[in-house]
Amino acid sequence: MIKLGPAGTGENSEAGLQKIKELGLDGVEIEFVYGVRMSIANAKYLGELASKLGLKLSVHAPYYINLASEEKHKREASLKRILESCERGHYLTAKYIVFHAAFYGKMDKEEVYQIVKKAILEMQAIIQQNAWNVQLAPETTGKGSQFGTLDELLRLHKETGCSLCVDFAHLLARDGRIDYDEILKKLDGLKEVHCHFSGIEYTEKGERKHLITEKAAIKKLFEKLLKSKTNFMIINESPESIEDSIKSKEVLKELGQ
C-alpha cells in the first residue's frame, strides 16, 4: 500500500489541511525546517483537525542539526531542535519526526555512528519520560559528507528501535545510481516505511537541489514498491510538492491502486 502527501501545505494551517483532504491526498509533512515556530496550542488544534480529516501527519525538524558537531553548544542546540519538533509533533498527532542527523567532519564514520546512536538513545529516553507519541526518523542523506546511508540508518533501527526516513532522491544523488530492488531487499520485514521522493539535481559531491518529479520516475518507483508487502508513506519534496503528489496519485490509479 502506498499513501501520498506533500512536504508542507504552503501555510501549515487549518486551510492547508482542508486543502490536502479535498485533493484526496493522505497526509502532509509539517515543515519546521527553518525553526520550530508553532505554538503548542496551535499544534493541538491542527492535530485534532488532522485526526478528524483522517490525515497522516509527520514533522521535518530544522535543517540546522549536527549531532556529531565538534562544538558542544551545536550538539546541544541540535538535540533541543529535534526535541522541540517531537513535542510539537506529539500534539500534531505526527508519528515520524524526520531529521538529517549529522556530518562526518574529520571523524571516522564509526565514531560518528556511535555519537548519533548515543544521541538517539538520549532523546528516546526524554520522549518516553514525556509520553510523547512520536518516533525519531533520521533520514537518508544526499551527500557523501553527511551521516545517513541506508545501511547506517537500518543499523540504528536495529540497535535503538528508532524509525527511519528513506529519501529515494537522496540515495540517487549520494551514489549516482539507484537500485530499487536492492533497497527493497534491505527494507524487507519492515511493516511501514516513511519516505521522501522528488526529482533531484546532483553532482559528484551529491545533492544540489530538488526538482519537479517526472511522471516516468514516479511510475518506476511505484511499480517496485507495489510488489512489496511493506506499507509506504511517500512525501513529495519537489518545488511543487502538492502538484507532484497529485501527479503521483494519478500514477497510482494507473497502476491499479
Q: Under a CB-based contact definition with an 8 Å cutoff, are residues 147 and 107 in contact?
A: no
How far is the C-alpha of 86 from the C-alpha of 36, rounded, in Å?
10
| pLDDT score at 9 | 82
**DSSP state at residue 23:** T
Containing structural domain, residue 122: 2-254
* Amino acid at position 84, single letter: E
Q: Would you state the pLDDT for residue 12?
A: 60
Break the chain down into helix, strand, coil percent, rounded to 5.
Answer: 45, 25, 30
List the 56-60 sheet strands across, edge first. 27-31, 56-60, 94-99, 135-138
- Tens-level pLDDT at each residue, the chain (257 residues): 999 999 998 666 889 999 999 999 999 999 998 999 999 999 999 999 999 999 999 999 999 999 999 999 999 999 999 999 999 999 999 999 999 999 999 999 999 999 999 999 999 999 999 999 999 999 999 999 999 999 999 999 999 999 999 999 999 999 999 999 999 999 999 999 999 999 999 888 888 899 999 999 999 999 999 999 999 999 999 999 999 999 999 999 999 87
Q: Which of 198, 65, 184, 210 is nearest to 123 (CA)?
A: 65
Please state, in angstroms and rounded to a whole number, the distance separating the CA atoms of residues 123 and 34. 21
Q: What is the pTM of this model?
A: 0.96
String of DSSP letters for 134-166: -EEEEB--SBTTEE--HHHHHHHHHHH----EE
Backbone angles phi, psi at 189, to 5 degrees: 105, -20
The answer to whether the beta carbons of residues 46 and 27 sit under 8 Å apart is no
CATH number at residue 149: 3.20.20.150
DSSP state of 7: B
Domain count, the chain: 1
